[in-house]
Amino acid sequence: MDAPQPGHLSPARSPVRRALRYWVPLALLIVIGGVLAWLNRSPWWGWLLVAVLLSVIGAAGRWWTREHAALQVGAWLLAGTLVVVSATSAHSTPQVRVAGDEDRSPSRPVQTEQGTVIGVYNDERTVEIFAGIPYAQPPVGELRWRAPEPPDVRTDVFSADRFSAVPIQPTSTFFTRALSQIVEVPLEETLLNPYPVSEDSLTLNVWRSTEPASAELPVLVYIPGGGFATGSGALPLYDGEALASSGELVTVTINYRLGVLGFLSHPDLAAESGYDASGNYGILDQLAALEWVSDNIAAFGGDPDRVTIAGQSAGGESVCLLGATPLAEGLVDGIIGSSGACMGTTGDTELDDQADTRAVAEDAGRRLSERLGGASIEEMRAMSVDRILDAADSLGDHWRPSVDGHVLDRPPPETYASGEQLDVPTLVGNNADESSLALASPPDTDVDEYRTEVRETHGDDAERFLELYPGETPEQVLESLLQAETDRVMTRAMHRWAHVQSETGSSDAYLYHFSHTPPEDGLERFGAYHGAEVAYAYDNLGADSDADYTEADFRLRDQMTAYWINFVRTGDPNGPGLPAWSTVEQAPDQVMEFAATSGMAHRPRPDAIDFWLAYDGPIP
């Protein structure tokens, strides 16, 4: 038999190579398309799109694998590009949240000062839901970076059957969706905004029972958290239906401006304001929402003279700030603050202070203008939101409340220490593992670097710090870093807030510590994480979790919900069948410990908290 000539394939080998040139790249594209569609959380139609595209590529590939090598390579590269683009872009467009369940029958009409509002019933017809009601004019155009204006009077009926778009904030991207598929964290749906965004989002939502316990119910106004950068009153975790269904209170959630649109300070803004200050527009929005509640909540069966404000994280800081501003006088009758307060230092947020001074905040505003080519305020108002956000990103530390001279005439801790805060019943606390979400992307745990940084930061107090937060091994360093941040930022702040209210005010203060680990499969390592208590206190277990809850969880939920409702009703969380909760004045070294078995307990980590109470460095 003649040997094959050089440069020619044997008849047996040519089909094999052709098959490999077809199946290997096609199999690779199938894997890539499937992985990307999964990472993208693609809906069914996204998977179908990728499957159809791969089928077309498979059919066409049988043709181009017979062509020259250069054409084959180009064709497969083009096919790969189409698969990647299709798989990463096949995601549902964000939609506003619809109020109610499946039935969504129209509610009874309510006459507000701005006109008639009609909401929807829940399926059980136990609660009427009124979503997306404007409490201020849209802060767009000339109203961007101005105090909120009252809403216009309407002649037509407002259909409050869906929540509004949410304030401008980051939206879901392929990267964030992919990261959430790879790294499991609690409260995923709450942390990653699922809704469309708009500057036109100054709205609130009301839930009322169809069988109220009385003609005038106390009101709970919940202010969402999110670091003054994310969050909204539409999130299911904050939903007011369950509490309203008790018939004991009317619940309200609100939106307010966030980020640079909510907290830009600038001398030119102060000059035009009419009150010689700028910034804190997000807090002014909260005040406008409370004004709307004061004017209109009676039409929903609420008592405008019994309004408790509540919030967690930045929402907790917000209610603390509202307690420190004289602008809230007459609007607030009780405060519930969770894992967020206004007890940090004032200076420069880039240097780890909680709030900027007016000068620092205005300087940040000037720097933003410079990044926009020296634009004036009027020119910035005419710019697109995306352009503003891009320029503001590197200055993000400053887009939060500042001591502006109007909303806040001095650092809030000074207001509370002088006894000039709103003297109302106060219920505050925090969680045992506030910083544990950092485990999703752990910090550096080099032992030598940790000890060096401790000595540089704490000087003469370094040895005391290392006694409280040792770092002999990387594992110990990680534990100490997380515990120190929890103690420094959260536990210290809530302790100080409760105690200073007890010392300088006449109204009672109550302090709690939440140490229960939710039974979320694979997430137990986060412990009693930041935000874990919200679903328990507001009767929303399962709103942002598929945990397999136990009898202990439901018992804890019932206890916390009862305490919260009692507090909103009377200013005192105590009630029949509940463990007695002492005031801070009655038991200054104790807290209400929320766990599988709740009750009064010694305050957590007293030596560490006292260390931070005496610390004179910056505290956020």
Give the closest residue to 433 by CA, choosing from 465, 470, 400, 478. 478
In sequence order, the β-bridge partners of residue 166 are 197
Dihedral Cα 478, 481, 485, 488, nearest 10 deg: 140
Residues 6+ apart with CB under 8 A from 285: 136, 148, 202, 254, 255, 256, 257, 262
In sequence order, the β-bridge partners of residue 15 are none
Q: CB-side exposure of 554: number of CA atoms within 13 Å?
A: 4
Provide the token pair at 220.
């709970």
Give the closest residue to 435 by CA, choosing from 467, 469, 387. 469
SS (H, E, C) 227-269: CCCCCCCCCHHHCCHHHHCCCCCEEEEECCCCHHHHHCCCHHH
**Which residue type, as a one-letter code, is found at position 533?**
E
Query: What is the spatial distance between Cα 355 and Cα 318, in angstroms, rounded to a whole number?
Result: 12
- DSSP annotation string for 25-90: HHHHHHHHHHHHHHHTT--HHHHHHHHHHHHHHHHHHHHHTTS-HHHHHHHHHHHHHHHHHHHHH-
Dihedral Cα 200, 290, 286, 405, nearest 10 deg: 130
Q: How far, in whole angstroms, is CA 198 from its chain's centroid?
A: 17
Set 209, 278, 313, 480: catalytic member:
313
- The question of whether 513 is a catalytic residue gets the answer no
Give the closest residue to 484 by CA, choosing from 347, 592, 355, 620. 620
Max Cα separation, the chain? 109
Set 266, 495, 513, 530: catalytic member:
530
Query: What is the spatial distance between Cα 518 and Cα 524, in angstroms, rounded to a whole number?
Result: 7
Query: What is the spatial distance between Cα 265 and Cα 276, in angstroms, rounded to a whole number?
Result: 11
Query: What is the spatial distance between Cα 276 and Cα 269, in angstroms, rounded to a whole number?
Result: 8
- The question of whether 313 is a catalytic residue gets the answer yes
- The question of whether 14 is a catalytic residue gets the answer no
Set 128, 248, 434, 533: catalytic member:
434
Residues 6+ apart with CB under 8 A from 463: none
Provide the token pair at 209.
């029972």
Query: What is the spatial distance between Cα 98 and Cα 161, in angstroms, rounded to a whole number?
Result: 7
For residues 190 and 544, the answer to whether their CB atoms sit within 8 Å is: yes
Within 505-550, residue ranges assigned H as helices are: 534-537
Give the closest residue to 430 by CA, choosing from 490, 519, 474, 345. 490
Torsion over CA: 323, 329, 331, 332 (sign):
positive
Give the active site residues. 313, 434, 530
